[in-house]
């Protein structure tokens, strides 16, 4: 069943639609598909729809407030209500654990109700599974994915988890790396390109792009940064519930005047040129788009060894990827690169070359089109 003007009708069930990596990628794909599709977006966390600002306003997008809740006990009647709400769409797209009841609803009632095909996306884990996956969730995912037409993952680590822990067949799992418009990055940014903070002469900026969530462990980044000399400022771009915790840690360490949280930035390509060094401090990542963006902006990257980060960056950068959870090693990497501008520049140039060769978004969009078209039994996707 198609929408007005023959447009495909896509239903997106998100764990959250606050601006983060998977949400902004979904918005980017919606924009790429253009007017040939209309979209219904549901967040498992009501009201968390901040990524809507990244969607082209010319597209037809619905945000229903009466869609059955994606949270709750998986009783048959509740799951049947979710399944019925899928009717009238051409393709259902589900994202992360928070939407897994939607996947289960589809598996249980797809045949009886004649539901559209479903493709699930897994991008990583929150702090409750950062160190160890929960066996009950592995079991639930395995059952829920039984009738899905595909599972898309951005990292090799997640591909392995999908095959081994969730017992998904090889034909079902699609590894698609996150891509960006690489050639939009790398230009010089205006000193006042960010709201509420201006880069002053003589300052050096350590920057990051991250949702302010516990799994990103941004207080750890504040601690690792605190020992850098006074010209260095820490600029954290993003929004989320951990803002006060980050502020509190900066206050405790006496560096609040050098830690800045300007908020979410819709177009990082316009501001990453202000950074002199990029860092992550996460407990868990898979294939973070922010690292690709930093690479495209000719930045050296300091990060814990989480997800695919070490494999993503250029060979010249890999020595600065520290053991996961080793805060002292993270701080040493920051200090070493902060003191060596020539090395930062050389690593940044190597990262840019790798981003151009491996991570441009045209290949990513093409791969998603292929998976979605295949799930629907179509030759092409809008």
Whether residue 142 has pLDDT greater than 90: yes
Q: What is the pLDDT of residues 66-86, one digit of tens each?
A: 999 999 999 999 999 999 999
Entry field: residues in the chain: 382
Both tokens assigned to 185: 């990055």
Q: What is the pLDDT of residue 4?
A: 61
Q: What is the pLDDT of residue 323?
A: 97
Give helix 76-84 / helix 100-113 axis angle, nearest 10°: 70
**Residue 218's closest CA among 209, 227, 230?**
209
Give helix 21-33 / helix 289-296 axis angle, nearest 10°: 70
Q: What is the pLDDT of residues 318-333, one digit of tens each?
A: 999 999 999 999 999 9
The structural domains of the chain, ordered by start, are 4-179+361-376 (3.40.50.2000), 182-358 (3.40.50.2000)
Task: Tell me the average pLDDT across 280-290.
Answer: 94
Residue 3 pLDDT level (bands cut at 50, 70, 90): low
- Strand order across the 259-263 sheet: 259-263, 232-237, 204-209, 277-279, 301-304, 321-322
Q: What is the pLDDT of residue 230?
A: 95
Query: What CA–CA distance (Å, rounded) separates 27 from 33?
Result: 10
Task: Tell me the average pLDDT across 189-205.
Answer: 96
Q: Residue holding tokens 């899928």?
A: 86
| DSSP sequence for 331-356 | HHHHHHHHT-HHHHHHHHHHHHHHHH
Query: What CA–CA distance (Å, rounded) separates 156 from 263?
Result: 31
Both tokens assigned to 150: 């595909």
C-beta of residue 79 within 8 angstroms of C-beta of residue 86: no
Return the percentage of the chain with pLDDT > 90, whole number: 94
Q: What is the pLDDT of residue 332?
A: 98
- Give first-to-last CA distance, the chain, whole Å: 15
| DSSP sequence for 42-104 | EESSTT--GGGGGS-TTS-EE--SSSPPS-S---HHHHHHHHHTTTT-SEEEEESGGGHHHHH
Residue 241 phi/psi, 5-degree rounding, is -70, -10
Q: Is the pTM of this model over 0.85?
A: no
Q: List, as own/partner pairs, every contact residues 111-115 make where C-beta atoms lie below 8 angstroms and the sequence separation is at least 24, other chains included.
A: 111/147, 113/83, 113/84, 113/86, 113/87, 114/87, 115/83, 115/86, 115/87
**Residue 281's closest CA among 130, 136, 73?**
130
Query: What CA–CA distance (Å, rounded) separates 269 from 186?
Result: 7
Q: What is the pLDDT of residue 127?
A: 79
Return the percentage of the chain with pLDDT > 70, whole number: 99
Task: Tell me the average pLDDT across 101-118.
Answer: 98
């Amino acid at each position: 069943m198609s929408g007005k003007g023959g447009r495909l009708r896509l239903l997106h069930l998100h764990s959250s639609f606050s601006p983060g990596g998977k949400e902004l990628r979904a918005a980017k794909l919606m924009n790429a598909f253009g007017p040939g599709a209309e979209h219904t977006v549901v967040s498992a966390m009501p009201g968390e729809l901040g990524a809507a600002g990244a969607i082209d306003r010319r597209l037809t997008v619905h945000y229903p407030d009466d869609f059955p809740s994606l949270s709750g006990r998986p009783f048959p009647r509740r799951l049947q209500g979710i399944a019925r709400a899928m009717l009238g769409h051409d393709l259902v797209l589900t994202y992360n654990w928070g939407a897994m009841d939607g996947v289960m609803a589809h598996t249980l009632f797809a045949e009886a109700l004649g539901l559209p095909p479903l493709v699930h996306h897994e991008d990583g884990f929150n702090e409750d599974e950062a160190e160890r996956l929960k066996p009950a969730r592995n079991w639930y995912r395995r059952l829920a994915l039984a009738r899905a037409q595909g599972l898309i993952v951005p990292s090799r680590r997640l591909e392995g988890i999908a095959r081994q822990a969730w017992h998904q067949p090889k034909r079902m799992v699609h590894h698609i790396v996150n891509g960006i418009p690489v050639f939009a990055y790398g230009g010089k940014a205006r000193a006042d390109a960010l709201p509420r903070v201006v880069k002053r002469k003589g300052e050096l900026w350590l920057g990051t792009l991250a949702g302010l969530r516990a799994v990103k462990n941004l207080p750890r980044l504040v601690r690792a940064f605190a020992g850098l000399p006074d010209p260095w400022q820490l600029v954290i771009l993003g929004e989320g519930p951990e803002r006060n915790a980050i502020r509190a840690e900066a206050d405790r360490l006496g560096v609040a005047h050098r830690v800045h949280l300007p908020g979410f930035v819709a177009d990082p390509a316009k501001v990453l040129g202000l950074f002199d060094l990029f860092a992550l401090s996460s407990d868990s990542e898979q294939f973070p788009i922010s690292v690709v963006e930093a690479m495209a902006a000719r930045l050296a990257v300091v990060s814990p060894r989480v997800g695919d980060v070490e494999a993503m960056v250029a060979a010249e950068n890999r020595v600065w990827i520290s053991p996961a959870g080793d805060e002292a090693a993270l701080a040493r990497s920051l200090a070493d690169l902060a003191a060596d501008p020539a090395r930062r520049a050389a690593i940044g140039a190597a990262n840019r070359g790798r981003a151009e060769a491996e991570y441009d978004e045209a290949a990513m969009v093409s791969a998603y089109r292929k998976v979605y078209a295949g799930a629907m039994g179509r030759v092409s996707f809008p």
